[in-house]
Amino acid sequence: MSSLNDLLLTGLLNYGSAVLGGTLFLAALGLPLPATMLLLAAGAFSQQGIVDMQTGGFAAMTGAIAGDGCSYLLGRYGLAHLASLPGLVAVHATLAPHSRASRIFFRWAGWSVLLTRFAFTPLSLPVN
């Protein structure tokens, strides 16, 4: 993990906010990346004038929100695609309770993903 940290810190120094936004996007998709460490480093580099605070903040928010949205879309439409494949009885058996929950969830889906995955992070595990 140390070499990954070094690689990301070097990328943040060389390429700035693009590495920050891209890393947060991939971390929001579920890849085990040290996003918190990179955010702390970006804040320290911003204080020293190495990374622009507005650009870095915008890239971080955009990457995290876009990654959370893509994660939601993969789950929502990926399950439907898996259910349409022949021979997957286990997936079809789990769709009955899922369809009821999805009808209830559908009304507030976008807001609940945004708030629980981004704004209220401790609630993200039970909701997602």
pLDDT for 1 equals: 58
Q: Residue 8: is its pLDDT beyond 90? A: yes
The number of folded domains in the chain is 1
Dihedral of alpha carbons 10, 4, 60, 48, sign = negative
pLDDT at 46 over 60: yes
Query: Could you tell me the residue range of the domain that residue 24 belongs to?
Result: 2-127
Mean pLDDT of 41-50: 94
Query: Mind listing the pLDDT tens digit for each residue in 12-41?
Result: 999 999 999 999 999 998 888 999 899 999
Looking at residue 87, what is its pLDDT? 61
Please report the DSSP string for 77-113 in residue order: HHHHHHHHSTT-HHHHHTHHHHHHHHHHHHTTHHHHH
Residue 116 has pLDDT above 80, yes or no: no
For residues 50 and 68, give the distance between their C-alpha atoms in angstroms, rounded to a whole number: 28
Q: DSSP strand E in the chain: where?
A: none
Q: Which residue bears the tokens 């949205």?
A: 69
Q: What count of other Cβ atoms lies within 10 Å of the Cβ of residue 19?
A: 22
When comparing pLDDT for 29 and 109, which is higher? 29
Confidence of residue 111 (pLDDT cuts 50, 70, 90): confident
Separation CA 71–CA 69 (nearest Å) = 5
Write out pLDDT tens, residues 56-106: 999 999 999 999 889 888 877 877 676 666 665 555 555 556 666 667 677
Cα angle: 82, vertex 84, 90; to 5 degrees? 60
For residue 58, with 0-12 CB atoms within 10 Å meaning exposed, 13-18 middle and 19 or more buried, which class applies?
Answer: middle
Q: Given its phi and psi angles, is residue 49 left (phi above 0), alpha (psi -120 to 50 degrees) or beta? A: left
- pLDDT reading at 10 higher than 90: yes
